[in-house]
Amino acid sequence: MKNKLMFIYAHPDDETFASGGTILQYAHQPGWEVTLYCATRGEGGSTGTPPLCPQHRLGEVRADELAKAAKVLGIDRVILRDFGDGKLANVPFHILVDDITQSICKEQPSAVITFPSHGISGHPDHQTIHQATTEAIRQIQKNRMIQLYYIVIPQSVAKEQTIYTTPDQEVTNQVNVSVWRKKIMEALQCHKTQQRSVERVFPGVSNGHWEHLRTFEYYQKAGTTGIFREDGL
């Protein structure tokens, strides 16, 4: 029986921006499977610079970009929903929680990864996904144990960006992703409509430069602090 990780995010590209290296690490590790749950099709985002499609087709285009990125990352299964980009907070909370709960119960992962409460970028959809996933895990844990992790950026490694960070002492896990940086770049390049955002966060990636990508991805195990930081999840 294989171990499973399940990543739960709001938009196409969240998976690569947040956890691309971790996904690669476990997707290519014998005995592991990786599932991605994406709550929206990203139709509220940019169509590219210059535009690569009309706005009304963006959800379709970004779904295709996600499929290509998932192939690069080695994701075994993508669960793509259409709850509305920028509108997750308007979805009745119990409906979103129930859908996430049912998806987790079907996939039976040993651990789930999602955004922290602030969503890192502060995006309301990221924050809503955090709330709904946390509640789903709370309900599931009444019957079975499942570990929940939040993707975080430690204060000590944060660059000058408009992001929310996490105190270093609250970071419980780190994954060395240095060997996967070129693949992370390839997955980021799949999100062609979002290259302006990619370049803002990861300068040079659109032109094939991956050497300066992060070497670690960091997590906080829900309900604990990082007095002793673990390698891996």
Count of domains forming the chain = 1
Q: Is 153 helix (H, G, I), strand (E, B) or coil?
A: coil
| Assigned domain for 213 exists | yes
Average pLDDT over residues 105-130: 97
Using one digit for the tens of pLDDT, what is the confidence trace for 59-91? 999 999 999 999 999 999 999 999 999 999 999
| Assigned domain for 233 exists | no
| Assigned domain for 230 exists | no
Residue 160 pLDDT level (bands cut at 50, 70, 90) = low
Q: Is 99 left (phi over 0), alpha (psi -120 to 50) or beta?
A: alpha
Name the residue with higher pLDDT: 186 or 158: 186
CATH of the domain at 114: 3.40.50.10320
Range of the domain at 67: 3-221
Average pLDDT over residues 161-174: 88
Residue 220 pLDDT level (bands cut at 50, 70, 90) = very high
DSSP conformation class of 179: G
Q: What is the rounded radius of gyration, in angstroms, for the C-alpha atoms of the chain?
A: 17
| Assigned domain for 227 exists | no
| Assigned domain for 232 exists | no
| Assigned domain for 228 exists | no
Residue 225 pLDDT level (bands cut at 50, 70, 90) = low
